[in-house]
Amino acid sequence: MRYSIKILSPLHIGCGQISSGLNHINNDGKLFFIEPDDFISDLGKKERMAFIEWIEECSGNLDRIENQKIELKYARDAPSYNEKKNLNEELKTQKKKFTLNKFAEGHNIDLSQIANKARYCLTIKRGVYADSEINTFIKQMNHPYIPGTEIKGAIRTAVLYCSLNYNDEIKQWIKGKIKEF
């Protein structure tokens, strides 16, 4: 027997991992998730060296900004609002540059070549940008997976909601138990 579940509200069943702009590309309305090792192994020797230099440069810039933020935090004089704002803006700008999309752009690499090597892809509806950090979801064989416990919990919540809304006897019994507690 097959069941179809229609999601009526936003749903995210996460696995606790975050995908950065180095783990995915945004191309033609789809988000392609890339294994970094697969991406690197497909690069030629010259491109691989350029990628390593690019990684070192970008991570060095991020480290520099983070260190400046720490120094500013512990400076003798209280940092001004503008100093904090400028560092945060600079950090945001550097993170936008530290994506596979930007590397591919800067080194004339066709995004469709990278997309062909993706582990899986998702259609982007809106609000996801190449530099976004994405909380990943639980997957089984690179497909979304909703554990049975999540479904069971949703059904229990729905049953309890209906019971409380439509059965005064149960509602009064639960109120009494809560007061006893």
Say if CB 128 and CB 29 are below 8 A apart: no
| Nearest-angstrom CA–CA distance, 135 and 125 | 16
Helical ranges in the chain per DSSP H: 36-42, 45-73, 81-97, 100-106, 111-116, 148-166, 168-180
Average pLDDT over residues 152-174: 85
Angstrom distance (rounded) from CA 95 to CA 58: 8
pLDDT score of 57: 94
pTM: 0.64
For 98-140, how does the pLDDT look when each residue is reduced to its tens digit (9 = 90+)? 888 889 888 888 888 888 888 888 887 766 665 667 777 777 7
Rounded CA separation 37/24 (Å): 13
